[in-house]
Amino acid sequence: MEPPGHPARCHDVSTTPPVLAAELAQAWADIQRHHPELPDLAAPESLIGESSSACGAELSFERLLHEAVHGIAASRGVRDTSRAGRYHNRRFLAIAEELGLDHPEEPHPSSGFSLVTLNPEARKRYRPTMERLQRALKAHTAATTADTARSFRGPAARHGSSGGGVRVKAVCDCGRNVRVVPSVLAQAPIVCGGCGKPFRIPEAVGAGVG
């Protein structure tokens, strides 16, 4: 339970994106229990609807674990990619192996060791987490498919925008920042893991003054 006055992590649990974001945050926390140096996931909503050919186009627990490798690399100050983040080098692979990801083949010419897969031990360790996240992903897919069939979603969706709009910088009181689609931030607060305060878009705050 959140302490009094603490911003809620998810206001409207009846809407699918916040529910899925909460499950992503829980799955990330499960990874942190095994790898405490992994930083907090500041904006789980940013992974929903985002496609990355270098890190895995489909949102899944395997993709989340891949992102966790990048998180640990960042916390260690390790440069794990090159070529604008597309080529995943052997330093990425070394951390991936720590987290239970394998890459049995030679590196891909353009993406390196990006196409890692769960090894049997990790699959067993995270089975309950994977099953819970998979249920949330299926519910999200079903809800968004039904919504698309009956709703007008605006020009961004009609023209195939993978993220639902342009990402802008949102900041918190301790100075950290994330890139987020404004409509995603409007669904529910995104809370900073460092100071516990919600991220906000400075331009939006400034526009409302006066």
On average, the pLDDT of the chain sits at 77
pLDDT reading at 135 higher than 70:
yes
Report pTM.
Answer: 0.62
**CB of 110 closer than 8 Å to CB of 77:** no
Angle between helix 61-76 and helix 127-150 axes, rounded to 10 deg: 110
Give tens-digit pLDDT for 68-118. Answer: 999 999 999 999 999 888 999 999 999 999 999 999 889 999 999 999 999
Q: Which residues contact 115 (CB under 8 A, 6 or more apart)?
A: 56, 103, 108
**CB of 199 closer than 8 Å to CB of 192:** yes
Alpha-carbon distance values, 120 to 123, 171, 193, 204 (Å)? 5, 39, 31, 47
pLDDT reading at 120 higher than 60:
yes
* 191 phi/psi in degrees, rounded to 5: -95, 135
Strands, E assignment, 62-196: 81-82, 87-88, 101-102, 117-118, 168-171, 177-180
Secondary structure class of 167 (helix, strand, coil): coil
Hey, what's the torsion of the CAs at 86, 34, 196, 130, to 10 degrees? 70
- Residue corresponding to tokens 């007008």: 152
CA-to-CA distance for 192 and 161, rounded, in angstroms? Answer: 26
List b or e across 84-99, with b for residues whose CB sees 16 or more CB atoms inside 10 angstroms: eebbbbebbbebbeeb
- The CA R_g of the chain, rounded to the nearest whole Å, is 18
